[in-house]
Structure 1
């Protein structure tokens, strides 16, 4: 169950159809209880060495607690553009900023042991930074830069340590970046 003390538990998320057209709004709790398709985003921040900044989700997160994931991910709020939402959440979660570039979108559905479902039309943005993050401990329990080769090997050998959306999205990021 979603912790009602969770920041943003009552935020209105943007419901979308299969083409990402907005079709309404619903609060975050109901969206994840019902598994309704909604707009989301995932941010991937790289350093000059080509390493990806990962975050380990705080244990207090309402799903996927303690799992490693991409740099930042969340949902735009009602009336908020996706790029602006990416910038906001990157600052809120990781205490950093970066110029972000849209890469691609994908849709996925994942059911969790606690009965919640993520069903997202996910917009992926990439950025670069040499800065170390200053994560919010309510959001992130750890972070690290990792090479893409090491990450891909780790995801294959220990998939249970990573979020569902990262496992789905990672091959597409690799393809987008032209990494072998």
Structure 2
């Protein structure tokens, strides 16, 4: 039987230009605040509402907080868009082709001593079908109007993940060009 540390997921270490530098264990990069590759997926319905997920309570950080449709890290040697589409299926139970719209770097410290320091690739898609959440990853989900999100990020930022708050202004700008 393998221990959890023996099968720990590896993530891709990168520099500020997203050039690969190697790999390291997922917990190690969050303990040492090492810059690594990540992705965030934002799925909208035809009305332009964003599909949010509430992170499962037992997540290693930000449990119970609301965030974009899904997010994670590509595996070593895995294409980032393919990883985003794979993870969307794993977390939310549906597949759709995604489009990359931008990327950004952010760093956020958490109360439990972990730090997210990510080069985050942002993908979007549109979906109207069935959602079948993975309860190990997702506590709840909801489609929300962008006006509601803008208002609550301003009035109750603590209910959202750090990366969602950073990405929201740019995704909102993209959304205006697509849905308005």
Which TM-score band (shorter chain)?
over 0.9
Q: How far does the alpha carbon of each residue in 1:122-157 deviate from its partner, in whole angstroms, 9 at most, with x for none?
A: 000000000131110110000000100011111111
Partner of 2:81: 83
C-alpha distance in 2 between matches for 1:109 and 1:86: 20
Deviation per CA, 1:149-168, whole angstroms, max 9, x where unpaired? 01111111110000000000
Alpha-carbon separation, structure 2, partners of 1:70 and 1:105:
14
Matched, 1:47 2:38: no
Equivalent residue, structure 2, for 1:120:
118
Segments of 4+ in structure 1 off by > 4 A?
none
Give the alignment's TM-score, normalised by structure 2.
0.94
Question: Number of residue pairs matched?
Answer: 176
Could you say which residue in structure 1 is the equivalent of 2:161? 163
The aligned counterpart of 1:33 is 31
Question: 2:16 — aligned with what?
Answer: 18
**Alpha-carbon deviations, 1:35-67, whole Å to 9, x = none?**
100000000000001000000000010000000
Distance across 1 between alignment mates of 2:111 and 2:51: 27
The residue that corresponds to 2:171 in the other structure is: 173
Shift in Å, 1:5: 5.8
